[in-house]
């Protein structure tokens, strides 16, 4: 995986990240590959697929995080999308503080190691079940990537949000049936198609609010 390949992917997505951020993204991909051999953090092991399916896929939501200062990432496994987003927004004004809530100890341990090695001051790991988390300050938004069902996502995470906060669900194909099963208290604000270079599969960002 070369920096030029990452750079071209970012350019195709219209994302302009400094060279330091790109270097950290590649370092994170290398860490993911290294730890994956022992901890089985992700089923994707090919370097090229880590670039498209993990890094670029995670970063596709960047344009939709404007105005968010506190973001919770739920069930992120190997730190996706939280760690790539933390790398990409380091130094942003206003700052974006990302809190990753991960139940599985070995995955939380990997994320903590990545935080240390990559120097991610804006990234915090909580090794806890999401339903047990009671933050001192509520979050502006909660994000999750490939969470099993939208109704489960909103049911488990709505208590983390400030009034007027949003739930950001990263999905593959447009989840029409899941949207139909949402509790009446929630509404879809936007359903945005995402284009990820080299992925060749549908991706959507579903933005939800309490009605």
Query: Does the annotation place 130 within a ligand binding site?
Result: yes
Query: Does the annotation place 131 within a ligand binding site?
Result: yes
Query: Does the annotation place 80 within a ligand binding site?
Result: yes
Rounded to whole angstroms, the Cα distance separating 133 from 45 reads 31
Query: Does the annotation place 117 within a ligand binding site?
Result: no
Rounded to whole angstroms, the Cα distance separating 140 from 138 reads 7
3-state class (DSSP) for residue 127: coil
Q: Where are the beta strands (DSSP E) in the chain?
A: 70-74, 97-101, 123-126, 139-145, 161-171, 186-194, 203-210
For 195, list phi and psi in degrees, rounded to 5. -115, 120
Per the annotation, where are the binding residues for S-adenosyl-L-methionine?
Answer: 75, 80, 130-131, 145
């Amino acid at each position: 995986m070369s920096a030029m390949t990452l750079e071209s992917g970012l350019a195709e997505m219209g994302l302009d990240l400094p060279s330091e951020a790109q270097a950290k993204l590649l370092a994170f991909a290398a860490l993911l590959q290294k730890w994956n051999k022992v901890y089985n953090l992700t089923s994707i092991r090919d370097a090229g697929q880590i670039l498209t399916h993990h890094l670029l896929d995670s970063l596709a939501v960047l344009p939709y995080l404007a105005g968010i200062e506190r973001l919770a990432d739920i069930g992120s496994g190997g730190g996706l999308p939280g760690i790539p987003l933390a790398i990409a927004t380091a130094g942003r004004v206003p700052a974006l503080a990302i809190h990753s809530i991960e139940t599985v100890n070995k995955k939380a341990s990997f994320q903590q190691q990545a935080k240390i090695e990559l120097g991610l001051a804006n990234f915090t790991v909580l090794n806890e079940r999401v339903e047990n988390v009671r933050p001192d300050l509520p979050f502006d938004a909660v994000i999750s990537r490939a969470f099993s069902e939208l109704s489960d996502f909103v049911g488990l995470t709505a208590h983390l949000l400030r009034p007027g906060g949003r739930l950001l669900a990263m999905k593959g194909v447009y989840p029409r049936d899941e949207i139909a099963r949402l509790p009446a208290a929630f509404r879809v604000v936007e359903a945005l198609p995402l284009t990820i270079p080299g992925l060749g599969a549908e991706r959507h960002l579903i933005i939800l609010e309490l009605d």
